Structure formats: C-alpha cells, structure tokens
Amino acid sequence: MRWRPSGLDERRTEHLLARLWREIPAPSEDELDAIARLARAESTPVESALARTMRANGRRLRLRWAVAAAACALLLGSGLGFGLGSSVTPSGGADTGPAGFGFIPARGWTVMQSRNPLGSGAAGAIATNIPLQPGEDLEGTLDASLLSLPPHGILLYATFSARGDPSEDPEFKPRALPLRIAGTEPERFNSGERLFQAGVGGYNVRVHIYYGAEQVSARMRQAAQRQLSGLFIASERVTMVARPSTLPAFQHTTLFGSVDSRKAGEQVTIQAKDCGSPDFRVVAGSTTRDGGGWSTEYDPGLNTTLRAVWDGNASAAVTIRVRAGVYLRRLAPNAFRIVVWRGRSSLFSPRYALFQRQDRRLGTWMPVKQVALDRASVVGTDFKASVPKGSLVRVVVPSTQARPCYLAGVTSTLRT
C-alpha cells in the first residue's frame, strides 16, 4: 500500500526543509557560470553538467548540491505544498490557471491547509502560534488544537468556497487582500472567538480567530493581524461548483460559480464529458449577475465530468455521479417485476439485480434472490420470490453491475 504523509508528517518535513535551506549557501556566480559553460559545450543533460562541476569544485559544492537534491526529492515525494492546482490546457483550447488557498508561513507560526476540494465542499487552512495537534483531517486537527489552546495561543481557521450561490453571496461583502481586522466589523461569538466574512475574488472567505485568553491584549491582536495579512488566494478566473454532486436517477444538480471580471452580462458555457466519451461538448450556458456570479441547473443522466468556460478559461472539472435507475413493482403476492432504466450509455447493461428483505429485528437487509435481468426486454424482468407477508422488500443493482457509468442503484421499498 502506498504511504501517504499525514498532516503532522508534512509539517515536520516542512520544518526540516526550512532548516536545510537555511544551512545551504547559495551557489556563487562562478559556480553557476561553470554549470552554464558545461551545459553549452556538451550535448549532455544538465544533470551531467552539475556532476562535472561538483567534481571540479570540491567536496563543499558536492555536499551543498547533494543536500539540496535530497531536500527537493523529499519535497516532491511527500507531495507537500500549498494546494496549488496545476496549470494545464484541457481539450477544447480553454486554459485553467493555478488556484490555491492558505496562509503564508511566518516566524513562530505553523500553517496547514487542505487540498482544494472545490466541487465537494470548502477548502480550509489553519495558522497558529502553538504546535498543531494531530488529527485525522484538517477539522480534526482544528478541534484537537483548540482543546489545547493556552492563554497566549492564537489560531486562525479560514474556509474558502466558490462564489455564485445567490442565497449565500450577499453575506460576503467584496474586499481585497490583505484582510484587516480593523474595519471588517467582526462578529463576536464568545469571549475568545471572532468571525470575519469577505468575498475575495471568486471565493467567499470565512476566517475564525480564536484567542486562548478571554481578555485579548493589543499585542495578541497585532500578532493575529500580521498572520491574517498572510492569507493568500490564487484564484481561478472562472469557478464552478455542483450541488449536489451525487444524484438519484432523473434528478438535476445546481451548478454555480463566478468569473473574475465581476461584471454582469458575461456568458459562461457549460461543457460536459459523459462517461465513455473522450471529449467535452457544450450542454448549457448561463449569464453572470452583478459581481460575476452565475448559476444554472443541469440533468447529467449518467456519470459526467463538467466544467465552466468563460473568456477562453476553463474552471476546475467537477465529476457528477448518478445512481442507476431501478424500479420494483409487485404483480401478485409472490410475483414482482424489476425495471432498469438503461440510460444513455451503451456501457450500462447489468446482468443481474439483488432482491432483498429487511430483517425487522436487526434493521438490516437480507438477500432473498439474485435475479437475472432480461436485457432484451423493455418492460422489465418478472420473477417470483417467497417472502413473509408484511415484509419490507427492495431491489439493488450493485456497483459491480452499474459501473463505470452509474453508481449502485436501489429501488423504493415495498410492503408485501
């Protein structure tokens, strides 16, 4: 199983790298010139030129570059960073820029941020002047650290969600970075917590500031402000969120987002790449409101990857997952019919479904019969099964039969 670093492991590695880089002196101009001359003179990789230069300049340079190379390998291998997205050119010629959220590290402060989960929730980041306590995820780390917050402790917790939801955006007054505590009219939740809300670029930002002391000194407020000033957002030019991102059959999702021009009347195109298709196609569109927000509804019908395109720029792709459509009908006391909606995908042709009965005592679903589906029939598959009168029954199309274009499907329950 591939090892994945925990948040605590990442922070320890970050501290190690910071110390290593402080101890590695920068290469001199003569050394850099020597590397460049070797690279120009020989048709060999730059790595070879580095090796030759290290041999020519003695042990000190070898040690310096060896430590630097080890540090870089450790950085790449552990997947550290600030959660910045890749800059790529998706098919169709639309560009997507880097996006990331977090706090810039400051002396005496520890920072941590989650990867950007746009499409499935808000991204988050923590900055604190105390050691972070380990947790299973960012919120677990937040809870554990708050429980141990000493009187001198300060912890900032920020969340970032895409703008565009007309019911939420009015709560976030547009502001520019850096955010300032003075003038933001913070809402005080309790003696040690402050809340700030602002619309920054294409995102709604909530910042909770927790103080370990009930009486907050001017020095603590100044320290919190210095770290708040290090809040950064590398915004996408166009964003998109799907809510919900997992759907029953025949239901729609609401798509919303924003463009960084913040102008009304801008045209946003929605592109979709259906399960089994290699290319995006235009499926919908929307027009921005004042502030650059937009929203629309879309019925994907099957597992689909969506993106918003504006002014030649594409948002991060969002995957919508749809449950297989399956229905159960009672024909007689022990006779039933299963109807499976075949959908738009030729890749969806389930061979069987599971007929289940609920165990009243345990509240669990017990298998009764595996029903082979008549894939040539349009009206469905009829079958017989003996179950006690008054039983609660249902049919499931398991994920092994539904994928890759659908999630497992389940019918509504019937009482026999």
Q: Is residue 83 part of a domain?
A: no
| Residues 209-223: b if buried by 16+ CB within 10 A, e if exposed | bbbbeeebeeebbeb
Q: Are 293 and 394 within one domain? A: no
- Please give the tally of structural domains in the chain: 4
Q: Which helix (H) or strand (E) holds 336?
A: strand 335-340
Q: Is residue 385 part of a domain?
A: yes
Separation of alpha carbons 141 and 381, rounded Å: 51
User: What pLDDT shows up at residue 58?
Assistant: 44
Q: Beta partners for 246?
A: 321
Q: Are 109 and 155 within one domain? A: yes
* Digit-coded pLDDT (tens) for 56-90: 444 343 434 343 433 333 333 333 333 322 222 33
Q: Is residue 95 part of a domain?
A: no
User: What pLDDT shows up at residue 187?
Assistant: 54
Q: Are 318 and 330 within one domain? A: no
Q: Are 317 and 371 within one domain? A: no
Q: What is the pTM of this model?
A: 0.61
Q: Residue 359: left (phi > 0), alpha (psi -120 to 50), or beta?
A: beta
Q: Are 173 and 245 within one domain? A: no
Q: Are 189 and 111 within one domain? A: yes
H runs (alpha helix) in 190-347: 218-228
| Residues 234-266: b if buried by 16+ CB within 10 A, e if exposed | bbbbbbbbbeeeebebeeebebbbbbbebeeeb
Identify the residue whose tokens are 């917050």.
Answer: 149
Q: Are 314 and 202 within one domain? A: no
Cis preceding linkage at 174, omega within 30 = no
Tokens of 415: 């009482």
Spatial contact of 358 and 392, defined as CB atoms under 8 Å apart: yes
Tokens of 208: 């909770």
Residue after which a domain boundary falls, among 191, 206, 234: 234
In this prediction, the residues of the chain whose per-residue pLDDT falls under 50 are: 1-29, 31-32, 35-98, 116, 118-120
Number of Cβ atoms within 10 Å of the Cβ of 138: 19
* Digit-coded pLDDT (tens) for 196-215: 888 888 889 999 999 998 88
Q: Are 246 and 198 within one domain? A: no
Number of Cβ atoms within 10 Å of the Cβ of 159: 19
| CATH number, domain containing residue 276 | 2.60.40.10
Q: Are 192 and 263 within one domain? A: no
| Residues ≥6 apart with Cβ < 8 Å to 96 | 85, 87, 88, 89, 90, 236, 237, 313, 314, 315, 316
Q: Are 124 and 209 within one domain? A: yes
* Digit-coded pLDDT (tens) for 322-362: 999 999 999 998 999 999 988 777 889 999 999 999 998 88
Which whole-number Å values give the CA distances from 159 to 78, 113, 239, 378, in the listed order? 24, 10, 16, 49
Residue after which a domain boundary falls, among 234, 261, 280: 234
Q: What is the extent of the structural domain holding 207?
A: 100-234
Q: Are 245 and 161 within one domain? A: no
Q: Which helix (H) or strand (E) holds 15?
A: helix 7-23
Separation of alpha carbons 136 and 128, rounded Å: 18
User: What pLDDT shows up at residue 182?
Assistant: 64
Q: Are 218 and 107 within one domain? A: yes
